[in-house]
Amino acid sequence: MEKMIDLDEEDWLRQAKTILKKKFGYRQFRTGQQKIIQDVLNGRDVFAMMPTGSGKSLCYQIPGYMLNGTVLIVSPLLSLMEDQIKALRSAGEMHARALNGMMHARERVRVLRHLRDLRFLYISPEMLCRSDIREALAKIKISLFVVDEAHCVSQWGHEFRPDYLHLARIREQLGHPACLAVTATADERVREDIIRSLGLHKAAQTIMSVDRANIALVVREVSSDDEKMERLCTLLRSTRLPGIVYCASRDWTEKLAQLVHCKLGIRAAFYHGGMEALDRRKIQNQFLDNQLDLLCCTNAFGMGINKPDIRLVVHFHFPATMNAYLQEIGRVSRDGQQGLAVLYYSPQDNQYPEGFINSNFPEESFLRHIYYELDNGVLTIKNKDQFLNDLQERGSSETAARFIYERVREKPVHQSFQSIFKRSRSIIEQRRSVLLRDLLVMKNYLAATECRRTYYLNIYHESPGKKPVYCCDRCGISLADFDQANFDDTVIHREQLMNWKERLPYIFKEGDRSMQ
């Protein structure tokens, strides 16, 4: 394999460290980063599994300053791109841009015109599938092809994105730059899938432990919703914040935010996908800016959120997979300080994940009817968005609609839709059984009598390392140790200025100037 830059080991390390210090303000590499960066600089294909909060992005950002050309980062989510670019800008990097479907055509033209000047370009897989974008990209030098959230390439992953399947081919068309695939959570099967699907050649692998030793784990079984709410209030009355409470439904987020605010006087708000975009953004920004102590939300909140000082994640309902659970509690204490994850469950909570699994797929009679309508020309798939919309109007969930679209798209040209019904049905059964198996693992975790950490590390075929002081409820910890009183956090309670004559001068930094 050809080396991408010609430096001996000491030289590159010194250079990389200088960049780390100057640009990003860190003195030391964290575990895993140094090896990954070295492999990348050596021009190898790299697969890296790093838990959330362990500094994934530095692994391509630092090479970005050492290689000639543009680092192309494929990212599945708008909010992720936005957050990354915001972080780079804060570090003084002005040559970072994004290309995605949500932006103004004029903005897109501006980005394409200045491609050559960019050090980092974030792009959605949909954009990358467009031929005009690819042609423009083919004209510049891509120094590194990064696939973020690489588990999206695997249909076994919990967030399968069909567009990711084209990435290997696109990489060829862009002159086969070296590839770095990163993900936070992937079991063995998903890892193999990623390496195969992206065509990684003799990949250098760095697999880091999924263990987050600085997060203590507590699971509490309760008998009713009322008891749950009571326990939650007791916990929140003293425990160190800011925190997040994950709920399975929108109604619950609103109910809990209200409860906590009224009963405890905590600055709490709710956040879910049914809110106006503007309100969502305000609440998110308030949380990031420490104007809120607690956010009650659905899993719509979290992706691409970079807040290192979240101290508590509570699950008011448990998620459907261990992967999702680890990802959600992984938002605690990214700065390395001690954090806490508490999960409450009661027997009736089973309905939520099961309902979630079912909503992923169409019911048999529904699917049969849709295929019938397709055969008779009542429905067509000429326009993807229109088709998805039509299905949802007929009562399908969004994920089920996407599932049907994928099936229908695979259909051989000269066959009827009816003819692929059996195959679709068996795919549903297959997928459903995978999800049910994942759910069972999650439930077993709740019921486990041994150490929680040991249990989930086993799932990822890891053996536990040194036991942290605060491990889990099974190993014995006291919630009192997480009391706000034990930490000298200086919580700045910035007054929300309701008086415009104070608010406006603050916003415009007009402090001493007199009003006119």
Partner 1 sequence: MFSEALLLFLIRQFHGERTVSGIYHLLKGKQSSQSIQDSYLFGVKPFFHLCDDLERQSFQKLIERLHDCGWIQCVNSKQTTFIITEAGKNKLNKSGIEHTIPDGVKITNYVTTEGQFWLKLQLLIQTLSALRYHETAFLPITKQPPVTEAIRRIVLNRSLTRNELAHQLYQELCRLLTHIPRAEADLFAAQFSGYQMIGLTMKQIADESGKDLYECRMLFKSALRRLMADVSNNKSRYPLVASLISPAVSSLSNTAAVTLRLLRSGLSALETANHRNLSLSTIEDHLVEIALKEPTFDLSEYLAEELEQHIVERAHRLNTRRLKTIKNDLRENASYLQIRLALAKNTLR
| Contacts with partner 1, residue ranges (CB under 8 A) | 82, 85-87, 89-90, 92, 102-104, 106-107, 261, 269, 274, 276-279, 281-286, 288-289, 291, 494, 496-500, 503-510, 515-516
Q: Check whether the bond before 162 is cis (ω within 30° of 0).
A: no
The set of residues, in sequence order, having a beta carbon less than 8 Å from that of 83 and lying 6+ positions away, is: 304, 305, 306
- Residue 352 structure tokens: 């939520």
State which residue, 335 or 510, has the beta carbon closest to partner 1: 510
Q: Which residues pair with 122 in a beta bridge?
A: 73, 98
Q: How far is the CB of 98 from partner 1 (least distance, A)?
A: 11
State which residue, 205 or 291, has the beta carbon closest to partner 1: 291
* CA pair distance 222, 346, nearest whole angstrom: 5
Residue 502, judged by CB atoms within 10 A of its CB (0-12, 13-18, 19+), counts as: exposed
State which residue, 274 or 355, has the beta carbon closest to partner 1: 274
Tokens 């030098």 belong to residue: 141
Q: How far is the CB of 206 from partner 1 (least distance, A)?
A: 29
* Residues comprising the chain, all counted: 516
Q: How far is the CB of 516 from partner 1 (least distance, A)?
A: 6
* CA pair distance 111, 98, nearest whole angstrom: 8
State which residue, 334 or 452, has the beta carbon closest to partner 1: 334
* CA pair distance 354, 348, nearest whole angstrom: 11
67 within 8 A of 41, measured Cβ to Cβ: yes
State which residue, 89 or 423, has the beta carbon closest to partner 1: 89
Q: How far is the CB of 198 from partner 1 (least distance, A)?
A: 30
SS (H, E, C) 213-278: CCEEEEEEECCCHHHHHHHHHHHHHHECCCEEEECCCHHHHHHHHHHHHHHHCCCEEEECCCCCHH
Amino acid, single-letter form, for residue 163: D
Q: How far is the CB of 393 from partner 1 (least distance, A)?
A: 16
State which residue, 196 or 494, has the beta carbon closest to partner 1: 494
Q: How far is the CB of 56 from partner 1 (least distance, A)?
A: 19
Q: How far is the CB of 305 from partner 1 (least distance, A)?
A: 10
Closest CA to 364 of 439, 427, 436: 427
State which residue, 126 or 473, has the beta carbon closest to partner 1: 126
